[in-house]
């Protein structure tokens, strides 16, 4: 058995993981990427319940579960009793009663998982696939895996997170754990999209102040669906002021990497032709997402035993 195999009852927030658990999940993800296999003698049933649209997270969890040999229970919000007014609690209570081992959930309500993991009746394990503008632990772990593969450490790395900070669960998950692991953080983007909580974790800057200094340049998607625009949003203006242009890309250190949780609004956060540029690790992030999610599901299944 790998020394990086750990047991977790649920995985809902990066705040609930110790540094040792984070590193074990990253290293186990790398082992899976390098060809590690697991074999379960018993049947494991997993349900993916996505109440918000998703391609990468949803399908990466599915691929991870299939690679682990899990049985996937189909769940479609559009044809479920949610349309009859069934609450999330009662939906998961049903999944638990049916014998589902793990429920991977994305939901628009921040902290939706609290009443689920505190319930004495619900026995299925909960993996948070994203809660509103709250947390996104699996995305954070795949980001960490990508950074760790590149540099072999976190301590002392300079990381800039730029864009729609307030609405980004990626930014909030990453800033907490990266600071804990010793990285130096910078935040950039429109003033109206960054709240005071970020000041506890790093320094507010403009992209141009740090683009030539950072090891990791992480851009965030402009989350149009979470905005109530009072004025017309100008893609061109945003890109010019806050996005990665060719000029800014050329200023990045040769060893620096470009990241984005995707989907990328091309020519908004990042110039279209730079999405797959040599310094970009965006495709690698998606690949790593499968393997770190294998580590997550394995850890939660182990925690059930």
Residue by residue, pLDDT tens for the chain (305 residues) are 788 999 999 999 999 999 999 999 999 999 999 999 998 999 999 999 999 989 999 999 999 999 999 999 999 888 898 888 999 999 999 999 999 999 999 999 999 999 999 999 999 999 999 998 889 999 999 999 999 999 999 999 999 999 989 888 889 889 999 999 999 999 999 888 888 889 999 999 999 999 999 999 999 998 755 445 545 468 899 999 999 999 999 999 999 999 999 999 999 999 999 999 999 999 999 999 999 999 999 999 999 98
Q: Quick one: residue 130, left, alpha or beta (phi over 0 = left, psi -120 to 50 = alpha)?
A: left
Supply 238's token pair. Answer: 């945003």
Distance CA 253, CA 214 (A): 7
Query: Residue 263 annotated as binding?
Result: yes
| CB-based contact 117:10 (threshold 8 Å) | yes
Whether 246 has a binding-site annotation, put simply, is no
Q: Is 180 annotated as a binding residue?
A: no
E-assigned strands of 3-122? 45-50, 71-73, 102-107
> What is the C-alpha to C-alpha distance for residues 193 and 166, in angstroms, rounded to an integer?
5
Q: Is 131 exposed, middle or buried (0-12, 13-18, 19+ CB in 10 A)?
A: buried
302 is in an annotated binding site: no
Q: How many residues does the chain have?
A: 305
Task: For residue 43, say whether it is annotated as part of any ligand binding site.
Answer: no
pLDDT at 233: 65
Does the annotation place 199 within a ligand binding site? Answer: no
108 is in an annotated binding site: no
Q: What does pTM read for this prediction? A: 0.94
176 marked as binding residue: no
Q: Which of 13, 246, 233 is CA-nearest to residue 139?
A: 13
State yes or no: 57 annotated in a binding site: yes
What are the tens digits of pLDDT across the range 125-166? Answer: 999 999 988 899 999 999 999 999 999 999 999 999 999 898
Residue with tokens 């609930």, as numbered in its chain? 16
**Residue-wise burial string across 192-203, b where 16 or more C-beta atoms lie within 10 A, e elsewhere:** ebbeeebeebbe
- Which is it for the CA torsion 217, 237, 263, 192, positive or negative? positive
Is 281 labelled a binding residue?
no
Report residue 188: phi and psi, to 5°.
-135, 160
How, if at all, do strands 71-73 and 45-50 pair? parallel
């Amino acid at each position: 058995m790998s020394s990086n195999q750990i047991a977790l009852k649920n995985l809902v927030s990066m705040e609930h993981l110790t540094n040792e658990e984070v590193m074990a999940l990253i290293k186990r993800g790398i082992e899976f990427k390098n060809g590690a296999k697991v074999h379960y003698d018993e049947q494991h049933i997993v349900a993916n319940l996505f109440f918000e649209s998703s391609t990468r997270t949803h399908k990466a969890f599915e691929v991870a579960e299939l690679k682990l040999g899990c049985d996937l229970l189909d769940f479609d919000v559009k044809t479920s009793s949610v349309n009859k007014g069934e609450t999330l609690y009662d939906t998961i209570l049903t999944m638990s009663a049916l014998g589902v081992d793990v429920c991977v959930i994305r939901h628009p309500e921040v902290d939706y998982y609290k009443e689920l993991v505190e319930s004495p009746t619900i026995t299925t394990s909960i993996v948070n696939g994203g809660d509103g503008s709250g947390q996104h632990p699996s995305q954070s772990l795949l980001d960490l895996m990508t950074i760790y593969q590149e540099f072999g450490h976190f301590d002392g790395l300079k990381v800039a997170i730029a864009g729609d900070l307030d609405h980004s669960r990626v930014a909030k998950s990453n800033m907490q754990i990266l600071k804990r692991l010793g990285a130096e953080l910078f935040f950039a983007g429109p003033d109206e999209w960054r709240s005071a909580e970020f000041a506890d974790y790093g320094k507010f800057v403009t992209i141009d102040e740090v683009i030539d200094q950072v090891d990791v340049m992480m851009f965030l998607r402009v989350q149009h669906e979470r905005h109530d625009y009072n004025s017309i949003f100008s893609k061109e203006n945003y890109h010019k002021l806050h996005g990665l242009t060719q000029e800014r890309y050329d200023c990045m250190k040769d060893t620096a990497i470009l990241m984005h949780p995707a989907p990328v609004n091309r020519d908004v956060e990042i110039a279209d032709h730079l999405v797959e540029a040599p310094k970009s690790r965006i495709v690698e992030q998606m690949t790593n997402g499968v393997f770190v999610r294998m580590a997550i599901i394995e850890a939660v299944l182990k925690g059930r035993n």
